[in-house]
Chains A and B, each alone.
Chain A
Amino acid sequence: MNQSSFKVFKYELLNTVRNRWLAVCSVLVFFVTVGFIKVSGDFDKALLSMTSLSVVGVPLVTVLFSSLYWYYNDRFTQLLLTLPVKRQTLYVARYLSHVGALALCWVGGVTLGFLVYLHFSAGIVLLSVLVCVLVCVFVAITMAVCAKVSDRMKGMGLLFGLWLYFALIHDGLILLILFALRDYPLDSVSGALGVLNPIGLARVVSLMHYESAMLLGHAGALVRNLLTSSTGLVIALAVGLVWVIVPAVIGLRIFQKKDF
């Protein structure tokens, strides 16, 4: 890495970490975690609530933060690109610093909340991994959309719509399909449809580690084995990786060819 790329990296990272809203978000997550622990009086239950919240909340926060940052720094980005800085360097630097800062903000808030009660468990590690994957996926998606759509209202509207789609509408569509085709065996189809959505993927992975694992007794033996075995986890990770790489590469391509 040469001198200027390093400077770009450093600048992006500092600029992201210094952001006040991230600190606010981290504190908020911390208090929500403590609140869940206080109200439920049960670490496992609090962790489950926190996981359910994170699966939907992390994408929303990621989308909002990342797009706001992009549009806010739009002019400065253009200025920076007049200098001999590779677009790829800037894009990757921004991506990595966003992922790092957001993941740290959320995971730090949750972990601190539990550490206050001197509690640590495997569930927290799982939650952290899920949060990191979700952040990776949604920063990639957000940056791709922002690179493509220059109008900030349009861009943010689109991103919010995407979040809504992944959080709610996609599941609704699955439900409709399952209802329409209820007479057919759809175990594997519904599984496949489920992982077409990064939020659904994270939820299904978390599902098998908590109380609802009992419910999987009801699912077909094949699906249950797949979900509870390490093969299932590897498949989930692979799908997660596809969800990171595809939007990141598309976003980078768009950004490299963008005519400001």
Chain B
Amino acid sequence: MKILIWVAAWVGVLGTSLSQASSGGPQTIRVCPSCVETSIRKAIDGARAGAVIQVSSGTYQEEAIVIQKSIKLMGEDTGAGLPVIDGQKKVAPITIIKTDQVEISGFVIKDTGSSYVEDVAAIKVIDSKNCLIRHNRFENTTFGIYLQRAVDCTLDDNELRGQAKDESSGGNGIHIWSGSGHTVDNNRVSGHRDGIYLEFVSHAKILRNDVRKNLRYGLHFMQSSDADYFSNYFSENGSGVAVMYSKKIQMRDNHFVLSSGQSSYGLLLKEIHDSVIENNEFSQNTVAIFMEGSNRSKFRSNRVVGSGWALRIMGDCEGNEFEKNDFIQNAFDVTTNSSQSANLFKGNYWSHYSGYDLDRNGVGDVPYRPVSLSSVVLEQIDSSYVLLNSFLFSVLDQVERALPSMTPEPLKDEEPAMAQFGAGVRK
């Protein structure tokens, strides 16, 4: 009997302590069209720091939601799809100001307002740290996610579909201005002005994003050093990808596809220094890689195929190294506007190479000159494109290859590979 009482007493103590623990945990507020709380904004007003606000399926036409405390805003599909926050083409739906550790996940945010004066975004994060924005869908937003002086944020698995009409009124899908340490992972961006835009951002990681059909650039970054770009897919963006004024960039396993047009580049590098561009795939671009004022970068194991120009490297680029790349069926391999070249081309595969390999060591015995005379002519006279593929140009090219006079003498690959490396994105 004594033992029984003793056990009962202990169970009682344990029970109370457990219930105490649960009431001291994070406050949870549920929002749904038929709940006590029907407004996300009011729920946030009544929430303590650390609260979790669970939002059920339904459409929420709210005024601008401003988050100034660390909360988790979680959308839940309770049968009728993810909860929709509708900006009614008037408001900027969510703004996070000077607040760390905010999480927003599982929402559809649509129809933001638009303005020529300020940047209206579906989610704007200002002066905050460690925000987490994931599993959301953005439809017809001017700017999608906008980080301003934020630090260490993670944008994961979002889908951003804009309907930008022209460059001046459209916004960017993911726009990061000033900050550091962000991770942008596995997002899908289309129909914006720039897909992903970074300016004054350091140590960013841009991974596995799928960026296509944006009006201007798929990826546009400036003054953003020490960034990693891995396994992204850029396709059919108006002007391709442009990266400028940065150092120590790593670009690996990306696809740059289908940038075609007069000023369209698979990858445009302007004043990019000390960077590594490796295992990327460039296909069907008017100009696959364009380089201006870029120094000391390494290009290894990339596959460049089916371009008008595989590489346009301006005379102000120095000390870049091109090794073990596959250049396959590009109308022109390399063009330059200079008669000199201070860049190294070594051991690449060129499908236009017609040399021989008598000692059978896999390396061609005569150097390959990737700059053809016709490309030099075309560089100088735009309108000579009517002569492309002509008998005249092929005769001139052969003569020039044998006896270079107009093409830059030092620009040559001394050890052209006889077989493709199978370079490109690692499977």
- A residues sitting closer than 8 Å to B (CB atoms) are 45, 52, 56, 167-168, 171-172, 174-175, 178-179, 182, 185-187, 189-191, 193-194, 200, 203-204, 206-207, 211-212, 214-221, 223-224
Contact = CB atoms under 8 A, between A and B. Distances in A.
Given A214-B260, A215-B331, A190 B384 contact: yes
B385 A219 contact: yes
Contacts of B388: 203, 207, 212, 215
A220 B329 CA distance: 24
A191 B385 CA distance: 9
A191 B391 CA distance: 17
Given A171-B390, A212-B331, A215-B331, A220 B382 contact: yes
Contact of A171 (B331, B332, B381, B387): B387
B387 A218 contact: no
Given A182-B380, A218-B382, A203 B390 contact: yes
Contact of A189 (B307, B332, B383): B383
Contacts of A52: 389
Scoring A175, A179, A203 by chain B CB atoms within 10 A of each residue's CB, the highest score goes to A175
B347 interface: no
For the complex of A and B, 10 pairs with smallest distance between CB atoms: A217-B286, A214-B308, A194-B386, A171-B392, A190-B383, A215-B308, A186-B383, A187-B383, A219-B385, A190-B386
B386 A216 contact: no
Interface of B: 260-262, 264, 284-287, 306-309, 329, 331-332, 377-378, 380-393, 395
A182 B331 CA distance: 23
Contact of A212 (B261, B380, B383, B389): B389
B389 A175 contact: no
B321 to A, nearest CB: 26
A228 to B, nearest CB: 11
A174 B387 CA distance: 8
Given A203-B389, A216-B385, 11 more contacts: A168-B392, A175-B392, A179-B381, A182-B380, A186-B383, A187-B382, A211-B329, A214-B307, A215-B332, A216-B308, A220-B262
Contacts of A189: 383
Contact of B392 (A172, A182, A211, A218): A172
B42 to A, nearest CB: 54
Contact of B264 (A187, A217, A220): A217
B381 A182 contact: yes
A206 B306 contact: no
B243 to A, nearest CB: 20
A200 B331 contact: no
A92 B222 CA distance: 69
Nearest to A189: B383
Contacts of B260: 214, 217
A211 B386 contact: no
A99 to B, nearest CB: 23
A56 B391 contact: yes
A56 B394 CA distance: 12
Given A214-B260, A221-B262, A193 B380 contact: no
Nearest to A182: B381
Contacts of B382: 187, 218-220
Contacts of B331: 211-212, 214-215
B391 A168 contact: yes
B291 to A, nearest CB: 17
A193 to B, nearest CB: 7
Contacts of A194: 386-387
A178 B381 contact: yes
Contacts of A182: 380-381
Nearest to A44: B329
Contact of A193 (B308, B381, B386): B386
Nearest to B288: A214
Contact of B383 (A168, A178, A217): A178
Contacts of B385: 190, 215-216, 218-219, 223
A214 B390 contact: no
A217 B391 contact: no
Interface centre among B284, B332, B381 (most CB of A within 10 A): B381
B392 A214 contact: no
Given A182-B381, A190-B383, A217-B262, A200 B390 contact: yes
